[in-house]
Amino acid sequence: MTNDLSVRNIVRKFGDFTAVDDVSFDVPQGSFFSILGPSGCGKTTLLRMIAGFDEPTAGTLTIRDQDMRGVPPNKRPVNLVFQHLALFPMMNVVENIGFGLKRRGMSSAEISKRCVAILERVDLPGYGKKRIDQLSGGQKQRVAIARCLVMEPSVLLLDEPLGALDLKLREQMKVELKKLQANVGTTFIYITHDQSEALVMSDRIAVMNEGRFEQVGSPRELYNDPRTPFVARFVGDNNSWSGEVEESAEYTTICTSEGLHFRARSHRSYKSGTRVDLFLRPEALRIEPKDLTGLNTFKVSVKAILFDGANSRLLTVMPGGHELLVNLPQNRQFDHIEPGASITLGWHPDSGLCFKV
Amino acid sequence: MMGNGFRITFWLFLSPVLLWLFLLIVIPHIDLLLLSFRGESDMGDPIWTLQNYKNFFIEPIYWYTFLRTALYAMITTFCTFILALPVSFYIVKLARPRTRGFLTVLLLLPFWVSELVRVYGWMILLRESGVFNYFMLKMGIIDQPIEMLYNDITMIMGLVYTSMLFMVVPLISVMESLDDSLIEAAHDLEASRFDILRTIIIPHCKPGITSGSIVVFMLALGNYLTPNLMGGKNSLWFTEQIYNQFIASFNWNQGAAFGFLLLVLSSVIIWVGLKVTRQNLGEVAS
Ligand SMILES: Nc1ncnc2c1ncn2[C@@H]1O[C@H](COP(=O)(O)OP(=O)(O)OP(=O)(O)O)[C@@H](O)[C@H]1O
Ligand SMILES: [Mg+2]
């Protein structure tokens, strides 16, 4: 499989401040690649360099094996869906979509044919004559995407395009975007600070923090096997303890600051006495396990029940006041649990992961 | 009760404005309008007549002067627009915030001195024994002084200089509302710089362009000093015709008629301009 985009050691400095710091990655053709990171970590800066609005301080950027240094945005085979869409208010829907094709000098018959086809594709047939301010948020979204897709770019860049939508629409658009990408087969590079958007849609995700890539991998890899504490904290929910390593063998044994002894995984072996953070997913905690062999167990008291259908959780506190989230399976087995109850929790050492702090 | 109180205050505050409008604009104009329809019969008795208006159309020099004035005012407006567009784009989109304020003050500065002084300034620079000629002679670019004053091009330059601010200010205010990402989006969709100017910037700035153009056109049309001092001897401006009627020929009736013709004809030109560009005055004013 060939790569649509290759980025090597790209750096962007604003004065003394390094916004993008030595980032390298490849995006295979036809894949959905997300860049996930907190606000201000340099995502937009990175995307603007790919689109050509900004030049890297150092590093190379190739699109379909062509070096992009010095190539202006209008000459690059990529298109950008802007964070606030940037639809042209002085034009109607077809004029917006046909804008780029017209600049290519295509005949107006051909342009209108393609506009009709692309409107069909984004599920807005017959909307061509509408003004932009007559569209709903989700429709504008799709027009903005159609306006780029009609250019048949090698790579479509999307800068938090769902950010301006309300929650319900965002959930719906997530699925639609994924379907659309599978349909058209264009390579998507998608920026977001919302981990659930990235997890749902992407083939691969890069987690970015303070200008650097922390980890690149499939959603499953990132979730199940984070390589850095930042990824463990940022992708999905996690409970954490801090403690010290007692022994490093098949599992690492740690003593938490509350004095509990746990066995867990770690990527490398640590000397005893090393300070570590231990991360554990809420769904790894089992309530009142029947078979305790090989499990780490401890007692907690229930503080609150956070009911959210299939996502229901218990908010529990350990004797020292440390709070933990525990998944509450909705199979009616735990209906008897009330706030204030004292319960035993257990977890398998394979599901906990420690990192040196 | 509340409504009543509000209404009284409303009229209280509005009355100076109405008074000002009425005393200084409406009354003199009504008087002028009446004057313009007055004339003398063959016997020398004052009568009501349309003769003053007829003169304008019968005497070629009058309407020829008017056409020339209107045409040159349009050229001035166009040149001002061409110059003001990049200037205001630079001020709004490219200059740093601190430079921006400085540049705006720089634009305002010439208006701190009276127009007369400004025009004489230009004359000192441009005349035969002026600063430009002196330096060009010194540097050996020319070996005889050139007369740069008293021609149409210099006059238009003077008018453009006087009008710049009135085009730049409305352009700046509309350009501030232009989202940068629209320009970037167009650039991303393979538009060249010229395409962006034509399809994004100008359509967005249309209200500002129109209001700026109206102001500049009216100011140029009604300007007296610049065409009179900088223009050539044979380049008559219509305001000079009016002045001549009032002061030189002491024919106030004819002068008043010309004044009204100027008002009506320039309004017609603006109305046609708005129709051609498919706009209406309400949109522009908002
Ligand atoms: N033109 C600039 N000059 C100076 N600093 C800049 C410039 N553009 C961005 N930065 C800085 O670079 C950092 C990264 O900015 P960027 O816009 O890439 O963040 P982001 O990851 O897109 O954040 P968000 O999710 O909030 O959009 C920020 O700290 C920002 O202050
Ligand atoms: Mg951003």
As a whole-number percent, the residues of chain B with pLDDT over 70 amount to 97
**pLDDT on residue B55:** 86
Closest CB from B189, B203, B204 relative to A151: B189
Instruction: Decide if B28 is inside a domain.
Output: no
Looking at the CA of residue A211, tell me the nearest atom of ligand 1.
14
Whether B226 is covered by a domain: the verdict is yes
> Residue B223: inside a domain, yes or no?
yes
Å between A87 CA and nearest CA of chain B: 7
Residue of B nearest to A74 (CA): B190
Q: Are A117 and A123 in contact (CB under 8 A)?
A: no
Query: What CATH number has the domain bearing residue B199?
Result: 1.10.3720.10
Query: Is the predicted pLDDT of residue B245 greater than 70, yes or no?
Result: yes
Could you tell me if residue B232 is inside a domain?
A: yes
Residue A189: phi and psi, rounded to 5, are -115, 120
- Taking the centre of ligand 1 as the mean of its atom positions, its distance from the CA of residue A40, in whole angstroms, is 5
The pLDDT value recorded for residue A94 is 94
CA distance A181 to A161: 14
| In the predicted structure, residue A293 carries a pLDDT above the cut 80 | yes
The pLDDT confidence band at residue B80, using thresholds 50, 70 and 90, is very high
Instruction: Establish if B19 belongs to a structural domain.
Output: no
**Over the stretch A100-137, which tens digit does the pLDDT of each residue have?**
999 999 999 999 999 999 998 888 888 999 999 999 88
Chain A residues within 8 A of B96 when measuring between CB atoms: none
pLDDT band at residue A294 using 50, 70 and 90 as cut-offs: confident
Using pLDDT thresholds of 50, 70 and 90, give the confidence band for residue A61.
very high
Nearest CA to ligand 1 atom 18: A42
CATH number at residue A117: 3.40.50.300
What distance lies between CA B257 and its chain's CA centroid? 21
From the list A51, A90, A104, which residue is nearest B190 (CB)?
A: A104
User: How many domains in chain A?
Assistant: 2
Q: How far apart are CA A73 and CA A19, in angstroms?
A: 21
What is the pLDDT, as a whole number, of residue A99? 95
Domain stops at, among A233, A253, A286: A233
> Which pLDDT score, from 0 to 100, does residue B136 have?
86
The reply to whether residue A74 touches residue B191, judged by beta carbons under 8 angstroms, is yes
Residue B105 lies in a domain: no
Residue A24 alpha carbon to ligand 1 centre in Å:
19
Report how far residue B20's alpha carbon sits from residue B13's, in angstroms, rounded to the nearest whole number. 12
In this structure, the answer to whether residues A257 and A205 fall within a common structural domain is no
Taking CB atoms and an 8 Å limit, are A103 and B182 in contact across chains? no
Q: Do A24 and A151 reside in the same domain of the chain?
A: yes
Q: Do B185 and A82 touch (CB under 8 A)?
A: yes
Tell me the best of A18, A34, A41 to mutate to test the pocket of ligand 1, counting ligand atoms within 8 Å of each CB and taking the most. A41
Looking at the structure, do residues A19 and A130 belong to the same domain, yes or no?
A: yes
* pLDDT class of A316 with cuts at 50, 70, 90: very high
Q: How far is CA A138 from CA A88, A171, A336, B88, in A?
A: 16, 11, 43, 35
Number of domains in chain B: 1
Query: Is B1's pLDDT higher than 60?
Result: no
Report the alpha-carbon distance of residue B263 to residue B276 in Å, rounded. 20
Determine contact, residues A91/B182, Cβ cutoff 8 Å: no
Co-location of A54 and A140 in the same domain: yes
* Domain-located, residue B43: no
For A191-219, what is each residue's pLDDT tens digit? 999 988 999 999 999 999 999 999 999 99
Given a cut of 90, whether residue B85 has pLDDT beyond it is yes
Check whether residue A223 and residue A273 sit in a common domain.
no
In a domain, B261, yes or no: yes
Distance CA B99, CA A174 (A): 44
Distance, CA of B284 to CA of B173 (rounded, Å): 13
Q: Which domain holds residue B176?
A: 53-92+113-285
Q: Count CA atoms closer than 13 A to A239's CA, side-chain side.
A: 23
Q: What is the ipTM of this complex?
A: 0.81
Spatial distance between the Cα atoms of A208 and A25, rounded to a whole number of angstroms: 12
**pLDDT confidence tier of residue B74, bands split at 50, 70 and 90:** very high
Residue B2 pLDDT: 54
Whole-angstrom distance, CA of residue A147 vs CA of residue A124? 12
Strands A252-256 and A261-266: antiparallel
3-state SS string for chain A: CCEEEEEEEEEEEECCEEEEEEEEEEEECCCEEEEECCCCCCHHHHHHHHHCCCCCCEEEEEECCEECCCCCHHHCCEEEEECCECCCCCCEHHHHHHHHHHHCCCCHHHHHHHHHHHHHHCCCCCCCCCEHHHCCHHHHHHHHHHHHHCCCCCEEEEECCCCCCCHHHHHHHHHHHHHHHHHHCCEEEEEECCHHHHHHHCCEEEEEECCEEEEEECHHHHHHCCCCHHHHHHCCCCEEEEEEEEEECCCEEEEECCCCEEEEEECCCCCCCCEEEEEECHHHCEECCCCCCCCEEEEEEEEEEECECECCEEEEECCCCCEEEEECCCCCCCCCCCCCCEEEEEECHHHCEEEEC
Mean pLDDT across B227-241? 82
Domain that holds residue A18: 3-233
CATH of the domain at A336: 2.40.50.140
Residues A201 and A127 reside in one and the same domain: yes
Contact A276, A242 (CB under 8 A): yes
* Structure tokens given for A152: 């048949």
Residue A131 structure tokens: 């003004």
Which CA distances in Å does B47 have to A146, B27, B52, B59, B237?
Answer: 73, 21, 12, 22, 30
Give the model confidence (pLDDT) of B120-144 as tens digits. Answer: 888 888 888 888 888 888 888 888 8
Distance CA A158, CA A277 (A): 35
pLDDT at position B104, please?
A: 86
Angle (CA) B142 B147 B149, round 5°: 135
DSSP B50: S
Identity of the amino acid at B245: Q
Q: Which tens digits make up the pLDDT trace of B90-104? A: 999 998 988 988 998
Residue B236: pLDDT over 90? no
Q: Is it the case that residue B79 has pLDDT exceeding 90?
A: yes
* pLDDT above 70 as % of chain A: 100
Given a cut of 70, is residue B203 above it in pLDDT?
A: yes
Stretch A10-34: mean pLDDT, rounded?
A: 93
Domain match, A140 and A264 both: no
